[in-house]
Amino acid sequence: MGSYGTFRLPDREIEVEAPKGCRVTEAAERAGIMLNTSCAEQGTCGGCAVDLVEGVFETAGERIVASGNQTRRVLGCQTQILSRYWRIAVPRRSLVEAGEKVVVDYDLEHALCVRPSVRKVYIELPTPTMDDSAGDFERISRHLRNGSAASIDVKPTLEVLRELPGLLTSAGYKVTVTLALRHGVWELIDVEAGDTSSRSYGVAVDVGTTTVVCSLVDLTTGRLINSASCYNQQVQRADDVASRIVCAQGPDGLTELHRLIVDETINRLIRLLCKAEGIVPEDISRLVVSGNTIMSHLFLCVDPRNMGGIPFQPAASGPGTFRAGKLGVGINPAGFVDVVPSISAYVGGDITSDLHVSGLTRSDESSLIVDLGTNGEIAICHKGRLMATATAAGPAFEGGRIRCGMRASTGAIEHIRIDPETLAADVDVIGGNAPIGICGSGLIDLIAEARRVGLIDETGRLGRALMGRSDRLVEVKTEQGACLGYVVVPRAETEDRREDILVDERDIATLLQAKAAMYAGITILLQQAGVTLAQIDRFYLAGGFARHIDLRSAIAMGLLPDLPLAKYSVLGNGSLAGAVVGLVDHEAWQAFQAIAAAPRIVELNTIPEFQDEYVNAMFIPHLMPERFPSVTAGR
């Protein structure tokens, strides 16, 4: 017997039928709602919290009868629906939504050339006669070669050949063919009855260690239609690339990590986008993935073990083109999947994308590009020479390992200003609603502002002497003992009014570790290239939240070098932009290959000075304040 219920979202209600006894998360997915379950529904992350409004439920062995007068907050992944009729409210912080903007923002150095490697063409074929009894495929091929605006020679797949006899007849020889370019040859991968040529889509994917972004793209026009992002569900097993390499060597570890990125992350986002746009996954015939090399290997279910030690050897830097059905990717199974080529084991396809869309390699300027992510990647181009490196920054700036950290999505605090007198914070929130957490740009502001007003010292410690002056400073009890915390937004001003949005000294230490890794990586790469900061003409910033960083704050906390602001160019999510370019312009792949083969790689763990630079950069802004003259002068 089924159950019937309503999910009440912040902006609408959705009715759904679900099996009685199923979990709330299962019912939500049936309704096209994706809840934030970064712990694979183990009940440990708290991301899928919902409010039971009406009905009978069970959670952790407790039977709950909810009524409209008294709601009960529970974890959706741990709660079963027992009644025939029910009602559940979903707070915004528990939702993964389509339409996200921050993680998608990017700039392209040049206009998109729309030359997709997938085309849908509507054709009307003459019916067979005794005088014209050519085969079904030959009739299609003849039309494409002679009767269309652009002459195309094609080869069929076996699956299409098997479908043609019945399909062409039933469709009255009026069909839409899907053509895909692979290794210089156009393949006929699908035939549909009628004119479906307007439904030709691809998906661009930025596969980050912490965050994954999927964008639905119209392959006919190159227009980005909609996007959604969520945490990479591999975080439940390991939250950095080194740990995932180890995890992949355990029993079924590789297949489990592959399942988590494909089934539990990318496919769920694709279904969410399809639901939002009223299309079906079979309308999507192409998918392009851009990400670091380890993520690309795990996406393809390729063993990454050799990248775990010297000489850091990937199975393939440019793995090629694959059928979606073979990878289990939830689009047209005959469609193609491509991975942007990587540069080395730890300098991945994401930096290849960054370099291409920024135009850095086509410029005569001395330029540096930094991709601010979990696996922070850096490249420098000077006098025609290209060098690159990567540094393990960790997931802090993407919300990972931070008490109230979150992705840059609706409800995230993106900017913070602290009053030096009251120590109260004035915040800007993505979407303009009440806040639910803090994203990377907000965390950067927080450190810079806290140091500016004397709330923290140069080591990141909160000032205990200030506790009597402001109720924003509180004692926080943790499993490791007590520490101080700073209340950014009191609970009464948050979306759910249940908990303060708070950052404690452990969070600050984690953020300083991330910024120290990035700054030290930049410093060492400049040294290895024999280039001074004064010689840098252009400094590009890439990453999902890069467009929303306050550059003054990033310099003040010591994340970025103290350069004139005019030298900075904010690219945004260049990895996603590269995937979009790869989707709509098949000629871009030659440029990708050339870029991936160009740099000399600098391995930071082989350079003794890196550790010293890292330790020095743990201070705010730096142990050597003379490197930050504008910061020290302003204070």
Least confident of 79-88, 149-158, 265-274, 495-504: 149-158
Asked if residue 80 is part of any domain, the answer here is yes
**CATH classification of the domain holding 210:** 3.30.420.480
Q: Do the domain assignments include residue 113?
A: no
The average pLDDT across 104-121 equals 82
- Indicate the pTM of the whole model: 0.90
Q: What is the mean pLDDT of residues 171-197?
A: 94
Name the token pair of 74: 């529970």
In which element (H, E) is residue 291 found? strand 284-291
CB atoms within 10 A of CB 12: 7
Q: Are residues 69 and 136 in the same domain?
A: no
What CA–CA distances, in Å, run from 275 to 31, 37, 51? 9, 19, 24
| pLDDT at residue 523 tops 60 | yes
Residue 293 lies in a domain: yes
Residues 467 and 541 in one domain: no
CA distances from residue 345 to 208, 527, 532 in whole angstroms, order as listed: 15, 22, 27
Do 207 and 315 have their domain in common?
yes
Per-residue pLDDT of 434-476, as tens digits, reads: 999 999 999 999 999 999 999 999 999 999 888 888 899 999 9
Give the CB-side neighbour count of residue 203, counting CA atoms within 13 A: 35
Q: Is residue 344 part of a domain?
A: no
Residue range 323-331: mean pLDDT, rounded: 97
Q: What are phi and psi of 468, to 5 degrees?
A: -75, -15
CB burial class (10 A; 0-12, 13-18, 19+) of residue 277? middle
The predicted structure's pLDDT at residue 62:
95
pLDDT averaged over every residue in the chain: 92
Angle at 143 between CA 137 and CA 144, to 5 degrees: 90
Query: What is the chain's Cα-based Rg?
Result: 26
Examine the pLDDT at 427 and tell me if it is beyond 70. Answer: yes
Round to whole Å and give the CA distance between 20 and 293.
Answer: 43
**pLDDT for res 105:** 76
Q: Are residues 241 and 332 in the same domain?
A: yes
| C-alpha to C-alpha distance for 240 and 271, rounded to whole angstroms | 26
Structure tokens at 517: 């890794």
- The confidence score (pLDDT) of residue 2 equals 83
Token code pair at residue 359? 């135009």
**Sequence letter at residue 207:** V
DSSP symbol at 220: T
Angle of CA points 180, 353, 347, to nearest 5°: 120
Regarding whether 307 and 215 lie in a shared domain, the answer is yes
Parent domain of 186: 118-193
Q: What's phi and psi for 375, nearest 5 deg?
A: -105, 75
Lowest-confidence segment of 156-160, 299-303, 447-451 by average pLDDT: 156-160
**pLDDT (0 to 100) of residue 366:** 95
Whether 72 is in a domain gets the answer yes
- Helix (H) or strand (E) holding 442, with range, is helix 440-452
Domain assignment present for residue 427? The answer is yes
Residues 413 and 516 placed together within one structural domain of the fold: no
- Residue 107 falls inside a structural domain: no
Q: 456, 466 in Cβ contact below 8 A?
A: no
The pair of three-digit structure tokens given for residue 60, joined into one six-digit string: 């952790």
Contact, 285 vs 118, CB < 8 A? yes
Do 316 and 387 share a domain, yes or no? no
Asked whether the beta carbons of 585 and 591 are under 8 A apart, the reply is: no
Q: What is the average pLDDT across 168-174?
A: 95
DSSP structure string for 132-189: ----HHHHHHHIIIIISSS---EEE-HHHHHHHHHHHHHTTTEEEEEEEEETTEEEEE
pLDDT (average), residues 560-579: 95
pLDDT digits (tens, 9 = 90+) for 600-629: 999 998 999 999 999 999 999 999 999 999
The last residue of one of the domains, among 193, 221, 247, is: 193
Q: Is residue 6 a contact partner of residue 65, using CB atoms and an 8 Å limit?
A: no
pLDDT at site 110:
65
Are 51 and 141 within one domain? Answer: no
Q: Is 483 in contact with 505 (CB distance < 8 Å)?
A: yes
Our CA dihedral for 68, 73, 74, 75, rounded to 10 degrees, sits at: 120
pLDDT(515) > 90: yes
User: Which amino acid, residue 197?
Assistant: S
Asked if 517 and 383 sit in the same domain, the reply is yes
DSSP-derived 3-state class of residue 53: strand
Regarding whether 220 and 181 lie in a shared domain, the answer is no
Do 384 and 517 reside in the same domain of the chain? yes
Tens of pLDDT, residue by residue over 360-405, are 988 889 999 999 988 899 999 999 899 999 999 989 998 888 989 9
Dump pLDDT digits (tens) for 228-247: 999 899 988 888 899 999 99
CA angle (305 as vertex; 304, 309 as ends), nearest 5: 120
Residue 508: φ, ψ to 5°: -60, -45
pLDDT at residue 321 greater than cutoff 80: yes
Count the neighbouring beta carbons within 10 Å of the beta carbon of residue 365. 12
Strands (E), 383-535: 385-392, 412-418, 425-429, 437-438, 473-478, 481-489, 501-504
Sign of CA dihedral 391, 397, 398, 399: positive
